[in-house]
């Protein structure tokens, strides 16, 4: 089985604040949106990101919504993004971010995913629409032939995640397992993968330094059993994208992400053997 290993665009959350993000995630997100939104400079700036992703050895990039947000993406933005991605031969397996709290916002997120060739929305259900407006969500996903993988925020365990997304696996609504957040909550991420089984539609593979915090690090430098998570994905027959996620606030993680990619490729090769 050849997996799609992708670079999560959110790894660059601190890029537009000079790798000195003192104001939390929102500071980096807002700075990125402000930087990428102007159409006059979008092609150059988006090209810089995609070129860097390619240089780091990835052919897939999970599009972070701060780089191209469905609330402000114009047809020109989208056409330009598709042109740049094609030039560098980089695919977009998932859209990563939050997908709104209204029907209009969710539909716009689905349209963007469809336009860029993504198959999964992998991120946060900020409006809890999977619970409050489930028929609309599933109907819209069906219309665009998409699935949504909801990340484990604020869910602490696989049982809490299943309660949120629904007990029936294999449908349009599943989970995007964020191994780092299970580590933050003190829950074994590999165990969560095995328990979630067919509910898993995307994976954000991440290590963190300590339980109770969310300080990401290179695979093997933290507390998450990342290699066992990869074994667990094989155990459940998962065949979807695996996104490498590492978003430090105070330095560029590029070199460490290359090491993570090489480690993941080695583990997958061992599993295949």
Report all structural domains of the chain as residue ranges with CATH numbers, in order of start. Answer: 5-272 (3.20.20.150)
pLDDT at site 1? 60
Q: pLDDT, tens digit, for every residue of 221-262?
A: 999 999 999 999 999 999 999 999 999 999 999 999 999 999
pLDDT digits (tens, 9 = 90+) for 84-99: 999 999 999 999 999 9
Q: Is the pTM of this model over 0.85?
A: yes
Per-residue pLDDT tens over the stretch 47-63: 999 999 999 999 999 99
Taking the chain (273 residues) in runs of 10, the rounded mean pLDDT of each run is 90 98 97 98 98 98 98 98 98 96 96 98 92 95 97 95 89 97 98 98 98 97 98 96 98 98 96 79
Query: Distance between CA 167 and CA 268 in Å, rounded?
Result: 29
């Amino acid at each position: 089985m050849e997996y799609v290993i992708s670079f999560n665009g959110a790894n660059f959350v601190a890029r537009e604040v000079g790798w000195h993000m003192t104001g939390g995630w929102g500071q980096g997100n807002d700075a990125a949106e402000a930087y990428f939104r102007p159409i006059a400079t979008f092609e150059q700036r988006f090209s810089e990101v995609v070129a860097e992703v390619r240089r780091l050895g990835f052919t897939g990039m999970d599009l972070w919504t701060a780089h191209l947000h469905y609330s402000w993406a114009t047809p020109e933005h989208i056409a330009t993004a598709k042109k740049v991605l094609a030039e560098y031969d980089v695919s977009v397996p998932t859209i990563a971010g939050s997908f709104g709290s209204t029907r209009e916002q969710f539909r716009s997120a689905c349209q963007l995913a469809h336009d860029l060739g993504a198959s999964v929305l992998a991120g946060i259900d900020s409006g809890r629409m999977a619970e409050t407006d489930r028929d609309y969500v599933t109907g819209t996903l069906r219309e665009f032939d998409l699935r949504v993988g909801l990340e484990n925020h604020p869910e602490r365990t696989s049982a809490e995640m299943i309660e949120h997304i629904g007990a029936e696996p294999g449908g349009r609504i599943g989970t995007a397992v964020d191994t780092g957040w299970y580590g933050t909550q003190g829950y074994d991420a590999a165990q969560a993968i095995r328990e979630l089984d067919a509910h898993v539609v995307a994976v954000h593979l991440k290590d963190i330094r300590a339980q109770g915090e969310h300080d990401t690090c290179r695979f093997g430098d933290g507390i998450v059993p990342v290699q066992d998570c990869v074994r667990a994905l094989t155990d459940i027959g998962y065949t979807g994208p695996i996104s490498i996620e590492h978003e430090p606030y105070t330095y560029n993680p590029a070199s460490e992400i290359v090491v993570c990619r090489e480690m993941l490729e080695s583990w997958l090769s061992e599993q295949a053997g």
